[in-house]
Amino acid sequence: MYDFRAIEKKWQEYYAKEKPFNIDLEKAERPFYNLMMFPYPSAAGLHIGNMFSFIGSDVYGRFMKLKGYDVFEPIGFDAFGIHSENYALKVGKHPAELTPKSIEYFREEQLKKIGNIFDWNSEAITSSPEYYKWTQWIFIQLFKNGLAEKRSSNVNWCPSCKTVLADEQVIDGRCERCNSEVEKREMSQWFFKITEYAEKLLSNLEKLDWTDTTKNLQRAWIGKSSGATISFEVSGMNEKIDVFTTRPDTIFGVTYIVVAPEYGLVSKLITPSTLQAFENFKEEVKNMDLATRTSISRPKNGIFTGSYAVHPLTGEELPIWIGDYVLAEYGTGAVMAVPAHDERDYVFAKKYGLEIKQVIECDPSQLPYTEKGKMINSGKYSDMLSADFIERIDEVSESIKGSVNYHLHDWCISRQRYWGPPIPIVYCDKCGTIPVPEDQLPVTLPNTDDYIPDGSGKSPLAKNEEFVNTICPVCGGPARRETDVSDNFLDSAWYYLRYLSPNDNSAPFDDGLVEKWCPVDMYIGGNEHATLHLMYSRFLSMALHDMGFLPFEEPFTSFRGHGLIIKDGEKMSKSKGNIVNPNEYFESHGVDTLRTYLMFMGTFLEGGDFRDSGMDAMRRFLNRVWDIATMPEGRSSTELKIKMSETVEKVDYSVKNIKPNTAIAAIMEFVNEASKEVSIERQLVIDMAKLLSPFAPFVCEEIYSMKGGKKKTILDDGFPYGYEKYASMAKTELPVQITGKMRGKVVLPQNASQEEAMEAVMADEKLSKMLEGKSIRKIIYVQDKIINIII
Ligand code: ANZ
Ligand code: ZN
């Protein structure tokens, strides 16, 4: 048993005083940028999920430092935005007053205690004027390059948060944060044109070391779809309706056209007799969210406009309908309806008695049949395969052109809230929309008591005359400021650049340091940010790259998203009263135990189940480590050195592959073996401590210094080495027989399984030749002795 409280306090103080992890960014020779997602200072303290994330990332950073890299591991606070503001509103404090207090607590009582190798010189706080000056600067660069635009759109409005929400913040028609039902409002907003980068955001994914899960989330969000745009003339009008379809091969099955209620041409298509019905219908649809409108299960509603369109290939007249299931924002806002082969069209056609015409071969009872296949009832194209038709789509008709669409939509930046960077734009009656000159940044967020959102659809800043009224930077006449603040996701889209020079007042980031340290080598954080935050950061770095500000397009070379923690098999929540408060465990079990247990309780990438019994067991394990460290110094057996060689290999492999739990399991095996001996060599103790130090830094620093370690920290002493000769001893040369005849040998780790043995056999050129084309009847395997393959 060791006094973990005393030891942890000692090393926390040592880290605070010596600052061994602040690095010289200019001089460092082997730069490795280890980034973790910074927290929202929006609660009473960091929760266990934050800890899990930070420690997982720090394990990687410590490991790379042990491997000799100059690891830059910064931290900061994502302190602007609705999370922090809502928390402040909830506890009835001004966010400008509460946020610094939260940060102070996070930093001093939590982050400085958990043993991470943070470089505290690099702290960045997004709500500080030094930071948001540059967030505004970025806005202006995008504006100047045509990537920021103000336009009117129908947006999601949360009546309780009193702000606009992005589509992805609306879950089943409700606000992700407060669960209120979301409404639709027509508002003028600032957008970043992320859609201009859709293809690059998609194709660049190939180059990244990210998991398929994360890449697929990104792909799904971008939602590329290939197909064709087809033009339909409107009968008796000099107008046409373009539709986007992924299934031009069903063109002969079109029985009506259906457009969104918001479709531009609607007012012309509507005949006087249908006008009233249309007005009512539009009102009904207005507040429906995307998911409801497009769901297959819900009945589809619509009205007939009274107008007709002409089929470009058959000349047939097709009724034009307005339908709630067509979205104005996607494609062209108009659809060619093929009820026989599209589920939503089918439901709609059934409801309104519209014709259903089968044009893909299948049993008619299977309609709507949505697969591709053989075209039928399609004029001269009958008998052609869908795929062949689609491939030659550009040859079919003048009216049909191959085209691509993306579900990705532009990034709405405006927030009608207080706690964020004011959007740095001025409106002048004479000069129009003018960006604030860069030497006048930041546009400071006024310190006012009138900061509570009121539901007017305007930011509280709009009521602040002193803020609003300004002078036009161009003509010097009276002008008004934009009163919305920018989205919190903009703050966090570029923080990794600011960490390199957080106090530089002359530039958003230091070109030299960015060149040297970026892109980020390893980025670790929660899967919940794997879609949007990463997408926005990627977009921004691409845009800054194209403007000549950054030498790279992709900000994060490697990314790993981790899972969630549950408690005793259940989701943590205030109502269940099962929230794990990390600080309590600092006291009861110690930081080292908490860190090691968090990394052991499950797989980091998937998350795990936190149990107090597990914490107790981990405490006992660290005590056993201590017992080994304090054993009499003396000779160790060859077996133990062989064990160490295996442990070094396993820890190396596991940590590299973000499998901290198997690294810890390997160290546990070593500790088991070591405890069977009566004495132990000093170097084995030091190396055990090194391998464990990413997980349990404090006790390992203590062991290292107790054993005479001379470096500033255990990590500076380098990864364990010199066990190669034992590694070869841990291997078996396994004789291989084929049907009883000796045919060769393969080299295997000791205690290899039959599968591993067979893998080694098949990897051997000579042996695998002998087995080629033969069916194996039986395998007789005696571990570490022999394998006999009967063919
Ligand atoms: C005719 C058709 C026939 C279609 C068929 C599908 C199957 P994704 O894959 O998401 O790109 N569509 C196009 N624009 C739309 C809009 N604004 N609102 C609602 N639906 C829209 O989907 C493209 C398909 O969704 C298009 O292909 C169109 O229906 C519909 F057997 O056109 B399809
Ligand atoms: Zn002006």
State whether the beta carbon of 743 lies less than 6 angstroms from ligand 1: no
Query: Which residue's C-alpha comes closest to atom 9 of ligand 1?
Result: 225
What is the reported pLDDT for 152? 86
DSSP secondary structure, 280-296, as one string: HHHHHHHT--HHHHH-S
Q: Are 365 and 348 in contact (CB under 8 A)?
A: no
Query: Which residue's C-alpha comes closest to atom 14 of ligand 1?
Result: 331
State whether the beta carbon of 697 lies less than 6 angstroms from ligand 1: no
- Residue 550: which of 520, 576, 573, 530 has the closest Cα? 520
Strands 302-310 and 224-234: antiparallel
Which residues are 158's β-sheet partners?
Answer: 163
Ligand 1 centroid–CA 529 distance in Å is 29
Residue ranges of domains in the chain, CATH in brackets: 4-134+489-567 (3.40.50.620), 225-403 (3.90.740.10), 582-726 (1.10.730.10), 730-790 (3.10.20.590)
* Eight-state DSSP code of residue 26: T
Contacts within 8 Å (CB) and 24+ apart, 173-181: 173/289, 173/291, 173/292, 177/82, 177/86, 178/86
- Tokens standing for residue 216: 């697929």
For residue 283, count CB atoms less than 10 angstroms from its CB and return exposed for 0-12, middle for 13-18, buried for 19 or more: exposed
- Residue 320: which of 244, 229, 233 has the closest Cα? 233
C-alpha 654/C-alpha 645 separation (Å) is 14
Question: Which ligand 1 atom lies nearest to the CA of residue 333?
Answer: 17
Q: Where are the alpha helices (DSSP H) in 67-152?
A: 82-90, 95-105, 129-144
Q: Are 429 and 177 in contact (CB under 8 A)?
A: no
Rg, the chain, Cα only? 32
For residue 540, count CB atoms less than 10 angstroms from its CB and return exposed for 0-12, middle for 13-18, buried for 19 or more: buried
Question: Which ligand 1 atom lies nearest to the CA of residue 338?
Answer: 3
State whether the beta carbon of 403 lies less than 6 angstroms from ligand 1: no
What is the reported pLDDT for 727? 79
Q: What angle do CA 16, 38, 452 make, to 5 degrees?
A: 115
State whether the beta carbon of 229 lies less than 6 angstroms from ligand 1: no
C-alpha 192/C-alpha 146 separation (Å) is 9
* Eight-state DSSP code of residue 256: E
Ligand 2 centroid–CA 450 distance in Å is 29
Ligand 2 centroid–CA 483 distance in Å is 18
State whether the beta carbon of 225 lies less than 6 angstroms from ligand 1: yes
Ligand 2 centroid–CA 17 distance in Å is 54
C-alpha 681/C-alpha 466 separation (Å) is 73
Ligand 1 centroid–CA 637 distance in Å is 71
State whether the beta carbon of 771 lies less than 6 angstroms from ligand 1: no
State whether the beta carbon of 300 lies less than 6 angstroms from ligand 1: no
What is the reported pLDDT for 285? 82
SS3 of 147-185: CEEEEEEEEEEECCCCEEECHHHEECCEECCCCCECEEE
State whether the beta carbon of 326 lies less than 6 angstroms from ligand 1: yes
Ligand 2 centroid–CA 786 distance in Å is 88
Say if residue 574 carries a ligand binding annotation: yes
What is the reported pLDDT for 300? 83
Which residues are CB-contacts of 237 (< 8 A; sequence separation ≥ 6)? 268, 307
SS3 (DSSP) at 458: coil
HSE-CB for 497 with a 13 A CA cutoff = 29
For residue 435, say if its preceding peptide bond is cis, omega within 30 degrees of 0.
no
Strands 124-125 and 148-158: unpaired
Chain centroid offset of residue 252 CA: 42
Ion ligand 2: residues, CB < 5 A: 428, 430-431, 472, 474-475
DSSP secondary structure, 274-333, as one string: GHHHHHHHHHHHHT--HHHHH-SSSPP-EEEEEEEEE-TTT--EEEEEEETTS-SSSTTS
Q: Locate tokens 């034992």: which residue?
A: 726
For residue 357, count CB atoms less than 10 angstroms from its CB and return exposed for 0-12, middle for 13-18, buried for 19 or more: middle
- Tokens standing for residue 48: 């266990």
Query: Which residue's C-alpha comes closest to atom 27 of ligand 1?
Result: 245
Backbone torsions φ then ψ of 599, nearest 5 degrees: -85, -10
C-alpha 81/C-alpha 84 separation (Å) is 6
What is the reported pLDDT for 239? 95
Q: Are 421 and 445 in contact (CB under 8 A)?
A: yes
State whether the beta carbon of 362 lies less than 6 angstroms from ligand 1: no
Give the CA distances from residue 466 to residues 422, 469, 480, 484, 672, in Å, rounded to whole numbers and listed in that order: 14, 6, 10, 15, 71
Best mutation site among 222, 224, 246, 292 for ligand 1 pocket (most ligand atoms within 8 Å of CB): 246
DSSP secondary structure, 33-78, as one string: EEEEPPPP--SSS--HHHHHHHHHHHHHHHHHHHTT-EEE---EE-
C-alpha 595/C-alpha 782 separation (Å) is 40
Element (H, E) at 650: helix 638-656
- Tokens standing for residue 359: 């044009």
Q: Where are the alpha helices (DSSP H) in 412-487?
A: 465-468
State whether the beta carbon of 333 lies less than 6 angstroms from ligand 1: yes
End-to-end CA distance of the chain: 57
Give the CA distances from residue 123 to residues 72, 111, 119, 128, 253, in Å, rounded to whole numbers and listed in that order: 12, 12, 8, 11, 61
- Residue 590: which of 133, 113, 241 has the closest Cα? 113
What is the reported pLDDT for 173? 80
Best mutation site among 225, 244, 258 for ligand 1 pocket (most ligand atoms within 8 Å of CB): 244
Give the CA distances from residue 4 to residues 581, 622, 641, 670, 722, in Å, rounded to whole numbers and listed in that order: 19, 10, 28, 22, 31
Question: How would you classify residue 504: left for phi > 0, otherwise alpha for psi between -120 and 50, otherwise beta?
Answer: beta
C-alpha 774/C-alpha 530 separation (Å) is 47
What is the reported pLDDT for 732? 82
Q: Are 670 and 684 in contact (CB under 8 A)?
A: no
Ligand 2 centroid–CA 424 distance in Å is 15
Can you list the residues of the chain whose pLDDT is less than 70? Answer: 168, 289-291
Ligand 2 centroid–CA 286 distance in Å is 37
Best mutation site among 230, 295, 335, 362 for ligand 1 pocket (most ligand atoms within 8 Å of CB): 335
In one-letter notation, the amino acid at residue 626 is W
List of E strands, 623-724: none
